[in-house]
Chain A
Amino acid sequence: MRIVVDTGNHIAAKAVQMARVDVVAAYPITPQTTIVERIAEYVEKGEFHGDYICVESEHSAMSACIGASAVGARTFTATSSHGLLLMHEMLHWAALARLPIVMANVNRAIGPGWNIWSDQNDSISQRDTGWIQFYCSSNQEIFDTIIQAFKLGEHEKVQLPVMVNYDGFILSHTSLPVKIPEQEEIDEFLPKRKIKWKLDINNPITHGNIIMPNDYPKIRRAMQEAHENAHGIIKEISREWEERFGIYHGELLELYKCDDVDYVLLSMGALGAESKVAVDEMRKKGRKIGLARVRVLRPFPKKEVIELARHSDLIVIDRNISVGMEGALFTEIKASLYGEVDAKVYGYIAGLGGKDVTFKDISKMCERVMDGKYGGYMIFDVEG
């Protein structure tokens, strides 16, 4: 184990190298570009054992990843924002084909107006593609989650692609210290991919053929079951990582000071890390509030959210907006509680398009609720 100080993107590239990825197919886009540039440097120096496919678009990147994964390769790509949106069709394809591709998506706002800063609307709009979705809050978590994502996606009871999301610039271009295990330790944690099906000229099959209405629902049900399986396996993998490397980021939720509280704050990504500071500040003032940082949006941690709401009211901050409704996390948390528990849920949207959200802003939002001054669901501090 050694400590490296580097940016989130370079740390992601390191994780890809150490996961012994066979194929990377990617197209550059800000703020993801330095991931694939760093992987290209590894290739040039002979420090990357896999193949690197340069493609002409993100749609092609995901298509190439699907082909590579379908012949049995451990496969990775990375993108952001408009790049992710261009992949949309093939994201569904990868998940329906049950291919454990891992992708880093560096969260960035969608234009117009052209904006390269952090915003989760890119990945939120891919919620229904069948991909597992993680949201990271530190460079350490980026490294650990990418390695874990291969183990999770390739698990025989999962067999699904995994998207590892983290905030553009806030994490992607910010240097933080990260503990990097030895290669042998990673190899022991993450053995070679075991293949559930593959395209093989010696055992010819075709994939993606016509499927009749009687059979199609079985494919969808199997994906749903795989997500339910992933719920438990994410917990196992998080605990195994802790036992091996002494690092723990939580499971589907990261609970921070949630015992004996009146309120629990829920948020995702770097905003979740900032929320810890806010919780510490509010606790100094005697407020009974804790944090549940949502690490995994799909499968959604429904049971865990219900448990939290049995003992406390919830405050949700979304860095995304499903225009015409609400922030995605707010909607899903309320849907999880329906018919189960009668807690109050308060919500805000904050930080769209990279608008800075400090611990002071987070405290202000929470204190409005705790002081009985919640003014209804809103985008926080639009004019400020």
Chain B
Amino acid sequence: MIKYDVVTTISYPKKGAMGKTGGWRAFKPILDKEKCVRCLRCWIFCPEGAIIRKEDDSVEIDYDYCKGCGICANECRVKAISMVREESK
């Protein structure tokens, strides 16, 4: 990876600069693998890269970094993802 020698607001790709952001979640996406048709819309639309794509195009959700925005559930055409309120800790 190239590191640039200039003082401006450049962010380099790395995992979890702000720590594990999964703790920010109010709603948790739950994937129903029976309904999933492996279209990968959730993987494309997730703004956080928190949908993990497997070799066979099935998906898993990375709960360490998923902030619970619900975009995946909204984009899913077969309603395989539902948003469930996180229990208070």
Query: In the complex, which range does the number of interface residues on chain A fall in?
Result: 10 to 19
Would you call B11 and A209 a contact (CB within 8 A)?
A: yes
A206 contacts chain B at the CB level, 8 A cutoff: yes
Task: Give the docked Cα–Cα distance between A96 and B10 (Å).
Answer: 11
Would you call A209 and B9 a contact (CB within 8 A)?
A: yes
Hey, which chain B residues are within 8 Å of A98, CB to CB? 6-8
**B13 nearest CB neighbor, chain A only:** A204
Interface residues as binary, A252-278 with B (CB distance below 8 Å gives 1, 0 otherwise): 000000000000000000000000000
A-B contact count (CB 8 A): 41
A130 to chain B, nearest CB (A): 11
Would you call B7 and A197 a contact (CB within 8 A)?
A: no
A362 to chain B, nearest CB (A): 43
B21 to chain A, nearest CB (A): 13
Would you call B5 and A211 a contact (CB within 8 A)?
A: no
Hey, which chain A residues are within 8 Å of B12, CB to CB? 205
Would you call B9 and A208 a contact (CB within 8 A)?
A: yes
Q: Tell me the A191-250 residues at the B interface (CB within 8 Å).
A: 196-197, 200, 203-209, 211, 218-219, 221-222
Task: Give the docked Cα–Cα distance between A42 and B7 (Å).
Answer: 36
A97 contacts chain B at the CB level, 8 A cutoff: yes
**A226 nearest CB neighbor, chain B only:** B7
A195 to chain B, nearest CB (A): 9
Hey, which chain B residues are within 8 Å of A211, CB to CB? 9
Would you call A203 and B1 a contact (CB within 8 A)?
A: yes
Give the top 3 A-B pairs by smallest Cβ distance, nearest first: A222-B7, A197-B4, A196-B6
Given contacts A203-B1, A203-B2, 5 further A-B contacts (CB under 8 A): A98-B6, A205-B13, A209-B11, A218-B7, A222-B7
